């Protein structure tokens, strides 16, 4: 299997094996294009979606420039194994939040820098279920994708090999195995497995995109629990180490610290001509025959709206008022349980064990769709937020903090539904580039609230069955997707099933914004698989460069 992966993506073998974590020569010697070179493709954002697209098309011989607003990280010098010290990884530019149930933004919601949000994601990489692709048809809620699960199956398998993913055989959705065996389970996961077994709930170990054993020149995980701070070890997958090295080796340029401010358009032909961007304080323009946006669910719609022009007065691709709409976030309550024995939940990747038994619509329930339950293992600062949210302050807060090693914590991902009113628009406030910032309005529906309550009960039951003498729950959100969704036509979405914009024939969107539904699965693997599929279609000429 490994030889097969290497022929498709050599990233893991391009990393150094001398104890350092960055191939400086590859970065120093990468191909560099001039602004007035008309490259085949310029990509906005080097995260989950943008990096996969860059790697695939560079391998196919396309001349690619991939820009990112943030830095080209060096894990040795830029990252610290410290919860407070990882703040630089986040997109902290201002964003305005509103609606009945506003979603807090600005701390760890999304990333900035090469590797995107996956630099500090938790590493859990389940697939979507086949049912996620037709929730409107089958459940009467949500939306239907322009294609079905089977069109993504081979891309899921390919990306799982490239990351690689470790886990037990997965019995839910489309049952499948993983390329790496499951990791050993920490105290938190053991309690989940024990409680679930006592209740007759099936739970499994994995899937995590964390090397279990050596993979190329990447070492195995050392279970120190800092996945959400950027894994200094290089055991956890992120595009910075899984796709960008191979893209560079095949002639792509990664232009870091380059903030794209608008898409350049030929007002006469209606075709994209490149991107305007700011680097080192200078405004520049990169010419390109094709543009792909992969800036994350908030920044992608914002860039489209900020690219308004006389021909597109309401923003690019927004003729039918679809840009920014149907933005989704998963309801993500977390329930912690106290045990007499020490748990030390930090000593493992945070999500390790999960159940997807409650994923699909259960006709016996009064809500549609469902939720997944996973271990989550907050480090002390996050744990303090959890405790403080219960109203504990002063002495009580200190007592809970001192007791940290005795707590286990589970989290749910609830499939909140895509609603047209949950959307990004532009605020009056501007950022340091003088651009209007995103305004994100979010309100839950009754189905969303019912899912959170049901998920909380299941988590409390599991922890109590495992022997917890106290359980506490905090309600929160996770994972933003949608905002420029794919659909069958321009009246219902922004891009078609190949990720091509309906309105602009040489403009693609290849990040989490295109997802029409979100299931109860963490989204990164699906975002990468969708980008890999779009790349294949571009390469095979289904929608070639002349578009």
Ligand X SMILES: Cc1cc2nc3c(=O)[nH]c(=O)nc-3n(C[C@H](O)[C@H](O)[C@H](O)COP(=O)(O)OP(=O)(O)OC[C@H]3O[C@@H](n4cnc5c(N)ncnc54)[C@H](O)[C@@H]3O)c2cc1C
54, 221, 278, 328: which one binds ligand SF4 (CB under 6 A): 221
Assigned token pair, 353: 């064990």
Is position 223 an interface residue for ligand SF4 (rule: CB under 6 A)? yes
Is position 522 an interface residue for ligand X (rule: CB under 6 A)? yes
Assigned token pair, 129: 């279920």
Is position 381 an interface residue for ligand SF4 (rule: CB under 6 A)? no
Burial of 392 (0-12, 13-18, 19+ CB in 10 A): middle
524, 529, 530, 534: which one binds ligand X (CB under 6 A): 524
DSSP secondary-structure letter at 435?
P
For the CA atoms of 215, 217, 218, 222, what is the dihedral angle to 10 degrees?
Answer: 100
Residues 6+ apart with CB under 8 A from 208: 123, 124, 125, 165, 166, 167, 183, 236, 349, 351, 352
Among residue numbers 101 through 130, which ones bind ligand X (CB under 6 A)? Answer: 108-113, 116-118, 120-125
Among residue numbers 42 through 101, which ones bind ligand SF4 (CB under 6 A)? Answer: none
Q: Is 16 helix (H, G, I), strand (E, B) or coil?
A: coil
Q: Which does 221 bind (CB under 5 to 8 A by kind): ligand X, ligand SF4, none?
A: ligand SF4
Is position 476 an interface residue for ligand X (rule: CB under 6 A)? no
Stretch that binds ligand X, among 165-173, 291-299, 467-475, 483-491 (CB under 6 A): 291-299
349, 351, 370, 493: which one binds ligand SF4 (CB under 6 A): 349
Is position 454 an interface residue for ligand SF4 (rule: CB under 6 A)? no
x/- track of binding to ligand SF4 for residues 189-218 (CB under 6 A): ---------------------x--------
511/33 Cα distance (integer angstroms): 24
Stretch that binds ligand X, among 63-71, 310-318, 378-386, 490-498 (CB under 6 A): 63-71
461/203 Cα distance (integer angstroms): 14
Sheet holding 436-441, edge to edge: 96-98, 436-441, 423-430
Q: Is 288 helix (H, G, I), strand (E, B) or coil?
A: strand
3-state SS record for 227-260: HHHCCCCCCECCHHHHCHHHHHHCCCEEECCCEE
Q: Which does 109 bind (CB under 5 to 8 A by kind): ligand X, ligand SF4, none?
A: ligand X
Is position 527 an interface residue for ligand X (rule: CB under 6 A)? yes
3-state SS record for 68-132: CCCCCCCHHHHCCCCCHHHHHHECCCCCEEECCCCCCCCCCCCECCCCHHHHCCCCECCCCCHHH
Among residue numbers 301 through 360, which ones bind ligand X (CB under 6 A)? Answer: 303, 351
Is position 485 an interface residue for ligand X (rule: CB under 6 A)? no
x/- track of binding to ligand SF4 for residues 309-348 (CB under 6 A): ----------------------------------------
98/196 Cα distance (integer angstroms): 38
Q: How many chain residues touch ligand X (CB under 6 A)?
A: 43
Residues in the chain: 547
What are the residues binding ligand X (CB under 6 A)? 44-50, 67-70, 108-113, 116-118, 120-125, 228, 259-260, 294-296, 299, 303, 351, 479, 511-512, 522-525, 527
Give the interface with ligand SF4 as residue ranges (CB under 6 A): 210, 221-227, 231, 233, 235-236, 349
């Amino acid at each position: 299997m490994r030889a097969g992966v290497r022929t498709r993506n050599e990233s893991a073998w391009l990393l150094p094996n001398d104890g350092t974590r960055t191939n400086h020569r590859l970065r120093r010697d990468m191909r560099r294009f001039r602004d007035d070179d008309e490259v085949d493709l310029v990509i906005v954002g080097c995260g989950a979606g943008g990096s996969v697209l860059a790697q695939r098309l560079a391998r196919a011989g396309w001349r690619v420039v991939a820009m990112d607003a943030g830095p080209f990280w060096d894990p040795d010098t830029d990252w610290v194994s410290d919860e407070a010290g990882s703040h630089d990884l986040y997109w902290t530019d201002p964003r305005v939040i509103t609606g009945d149930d506003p979603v807090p933004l600005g701390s760890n919601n999304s990333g900035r820098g090469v590797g995107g949000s996956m630099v500090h994601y938790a590493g859990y990489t389940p697939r979507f279920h086949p049912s996620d692709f037709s929730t409107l048809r089958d459940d009467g809620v949500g939306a239907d994708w322009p294609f079905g699960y089977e069109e993504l199956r081979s891309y899921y398998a390919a990306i799982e090999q490239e990351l690689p993913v470790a886990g037990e055989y997965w019995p839910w959705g489309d049952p499948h195995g993983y390329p790496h065996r499951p990791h050993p389970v920490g105290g938190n996961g053991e309690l989940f497995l024990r409680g679930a077994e006592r209740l007759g709930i099936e739970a499994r170990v994995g899937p995590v995109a964390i090397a279990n054993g050596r993979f190329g020149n990447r070492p195995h995980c050392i279970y120190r629990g800092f996945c959400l701070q950027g894994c200094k070890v290089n055991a956890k997958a992120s595009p910075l180490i899984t796709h960008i090295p191979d893209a560079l080796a095949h002639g792509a340029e990664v232009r870091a610290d380059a903030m794209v401010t608008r898409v350049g358009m030929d007002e006469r032909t209606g075709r994209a001509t490149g991107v305007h961007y700011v680097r080192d304080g200078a405004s520049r323009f990169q010419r390109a025959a094709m543009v792909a946006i992969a800036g994350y669910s908030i920044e992608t719609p914002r860039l489209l709206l900020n690219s308004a022009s006389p021909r597109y007065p309401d923003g690019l691709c927004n003729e039918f008022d679809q840009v920014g709409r149907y933005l989704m976030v998963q309801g993500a309550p977390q329930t912690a349980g106290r045990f007499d024995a020490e748990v030390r939940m930090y000593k493992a990747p945070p999500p390790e064990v999960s159940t997807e038994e409650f994923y699909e619509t259960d006709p016996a329930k009064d809500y549609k769709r469902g939720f997944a339950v996973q271990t989550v293992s907050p480090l002390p600062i996050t744990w303090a937020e959890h405790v403080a949210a219960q109203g504990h302050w002063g002495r009580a807060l200190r007592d809970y903090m001192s007791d940290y090693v005795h707590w286990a914590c589970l989290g749910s991902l609830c499939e909140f539904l895509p609603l047209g009113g949950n959307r990004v628009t532009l605020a009056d406030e501007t950022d340091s580039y003088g651009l209007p910032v995103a305004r994100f309005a979010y309100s839950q529906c009754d189905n969303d609230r019912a899912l959170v309550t049901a998920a909380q009960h299941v988590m409390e039951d599991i922890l109590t069955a495992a022997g917890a003498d106290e359980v506490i729950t905090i309600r929160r959100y996770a994972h933003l997707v949608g905002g420029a969704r794919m659909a069958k036509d321009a009246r219902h979405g922004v891009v078609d099933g190949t990720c091509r914009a309906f309105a602009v024939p040489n403009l693609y969107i290849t990040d989490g914004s295109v997802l029409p539904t979100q299931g109860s699965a963490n989204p990164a693997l699906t975002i990468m698989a969708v980008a890999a599929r779009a790349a294949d279609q571009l390469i095979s000429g289904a929608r070639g460069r002349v578009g």
